[in-house]
Amino acid sequence: MSKKVALITGVTGQDGAYLSEYLIKKGYVVHGIKRRSSLFNTDRIDHLYQDPHEETRNMILHYGDMTDSMNLTRIIGDVQPDEIYNLAAMSHVKVSFDTPEYTANADGIGTLRILEAVRLLNLTNKTRIYQASTSELYGLVQEIPQKETTPFYPRSPYAVAKLYSYWITVNYREAYGMHASNGILFNHESPLRGETFVTRKVTRAVSRIALGLQKKVYMGNLSSKRDWGHAKDYIKAMYLILQQDTPDDYVISTGVTTTIRDFIKMSFSELGIDVMFRGVDEKEEGYITNINENIFTKIVGEEHLLNFKKRIGEVVVGVDPAYFRPTEVDILIGDNTKARTKLGWEPTYDLKALCHDMVMHDIELMKKEEFLKNGGYRILNYFE
Ligand code: NAP
Ligand code: F7E
């Protein structure tokens, strides 16, 4: 039996990496579209890479860009995919206010380019399409919790571009009978999350602070609330959506919402550090109140304990309004009933397990950085 063929746009991103690995394990041949970059941008998928000279490959990369119709059409024509996962996007909400036109082009019209290519290449009956829609569509939320029927109210150029993608996907499904579906995914994170999204910024910073590599981290709005899940769970939902007989749209979420402030506290406490907050708005700050010496010693290292104990009372979190957004999404919390009942999907990581996974990853990463900073001699202690 010939292997199923998937094409993933955004293959070098967080979700692209986890999904590639997942599909390869399932026996797929995965084709991915990566952008040309002056530096290597394939860190997240290097472990899956196969030399082009190998006879049989299950991971094949193509240069491409969501803003280039001809390129996308050629790749889809060459690959003849059974499934397309359209994950490529300029995915940072704050940055979309700085690059609104580019964001509309890549995140909005880019999706049209994929759908239209499939139609023009007469692949409508063969190729199933997954569109990476987002909880950002709910923006100024009209209902709590948000579900598939909740009206959208986007609050950023990113969300407005994704709104176009959502509806053009629905339209191609209805107009041409395509198997095209939206996954309305709430925030999902992991050790592979981009460094400028809030969870990863926090888990990296708390690790550096604990090791004495950084004094303080500056954040934006600490009061917004997000429904965070683990990317490893969420890519499974993408796969399940494309295995259904009928295309449809699904909310993928955990159903639990948490403030940024509480996520910061949780992350510090993974390392045995208690942090409390005082003040409001731009004057809010987080300071160290206590250390659980057992946890700190076990995870950060005994050699750091004495220095860190001297820091009790010090401010480690500040607020810089530069990180505020012109329009904010205050609260997201998803109702995943449809995904549970129709897809049989459910999250396996709660926020504590997700936070643990990310902090443990980043503390090890930062220990390597510390090792380099110290001229390298400490590596023997850590890796012998
Ligand atoms: P990510 O880590 O930012 O990855 C985005 C991917 O898109 C990267 O591979 C990036 O390439 C690629 N890309 C960006 N612009 C492109 C262009 N013009 N042409 C071709 N490729 C381009 O995002 P993610 O977290 O994996 O999210 C995957 C998708 O789900 C995105 O569409 C995102 O908007 C959406 N989404 C994410 C979440 C979430 O919480 N993570 C929730 C809902 C929806 P480079 O590596 O070269 O930058
Ligand atoms: O912000 C607040 C910020 O950038 C979350 C993307 O994957 O998920 C992501 O979009 C919240 C916001 O994610 C900082 O104001 C405070 O309220 O991690 P984020 P996002 O904007 O929710 C959705 C579902 C997507 O589709 C997107 O592609 O955290 N916040 N302080 C901060 N955010 C950042 N980035 N940095 C801060 O310092």
- The mean pLDDT values, 10 residues at a time, for the chain of 384 residues are 95 98 98 96 95 92 98 98 99 98 99 99 98 99 98 98 99 98 99 98 98 96 98 99 98 98 98 98 98 98 96 98 98 98 98 98 93 58 39
Q: Residues 136, 189, 270, 370: which is the catalytic one? A: 136
Active site residue 195: no
Q: 214: closest CA among 262, 284, 268, 263?
A: 268
What span, in angstroms and rounded, lies between the C-alpha atoms of 184 and 249?
A: 7
What span, in angstroms and rounded, lies between the C-alpha atoms of 229 and 348?
A: 9
**Which tokens in the block code for residue 63?**
């240069």
- Which 3 state secondary structure label does DSSP give 121? coil
Q: What is the pLDDT of residue 376?
A: 58
**Nearest C-alpha to atom 34 of ligand 1 is from which residue?**
91
The Cα-based distances of 134 to 260, 273, 333 in angstroms read 19, 33, 12
Q: Is 135 in the pocket of ligand 2 (CB under 6 A)?
A: yes
Residue 221 CA to ligand 2 centre (angstroms): 9
Residue 28 CA to ligand 1 centre (angstroms): 21
Residues in the chain, total: 384
Q: What is the pLDDT of residue 384?
A: 36
The predicted model scores a pTM of 0.97
Run of H or E residues at 365: helix 351-373
Residue 95 CA to ligand 1 centre (angstroms): 13
What span, in angstroms and rounded, lies between the C-alpha atoms of 41 and 292?
A: 39
Residue 116 CA to ligand 2 centre (angstroms): 31
Q: Residues 12, 103, 111, 134: which is the catalytic one? A: 134
Q: Residues 18, 158, 166, 239: which is the catalytic one? A: 158
Active site residue 189: no
Active site residue 270: no
Q: 255: closest CA among 179, 345, 326?
A: 345
What span, in angstroms and rounded, lies between the C-alpha atoms of 303 and 345?
A: 44
**Nearest C-alpha to atom 13 of ligand 2 is from which residue?**
197
Q: What is the pLDDT of residue 381?
A: 40
Q: Is 352 exposed, middle or buried (0-12, 13-18, 19+ CB in 10 A)?
A: exposed
Q: Is 207 in the pocket of ligand 2 (CB under 6 A)?
A: no
Q: 100: closest CA among 9, 154, 161?
A: 161
The CB density around residue 38, as the number of other CB atoms within 10 Å, is 5
- Which 3 state secondary structure label does DSSP give 238? helix
Best probe residue, ligand 2, of 198, 218, 235 (max atoms within 8 Å of C-beta): 198
Tell me how far apart the 2 most distant CA atoms of the chain are, in Å. 68
The Cα-based distances of 129 to 63, 75, 136, 166 in angstroms read 20, 15, 21, 12
Q: What is the pLDDT of residue 194?
A: 98
What span, in angstroms and rounded, lies between the C-alpha atoms of 278 and 343?
A: 44
Q: Is 107 in the pocket of ligand 2 (CB under 6 A)?
A: no
**Nearest C-alpha to atom 22 of ligand 2 is from which residue?**
187
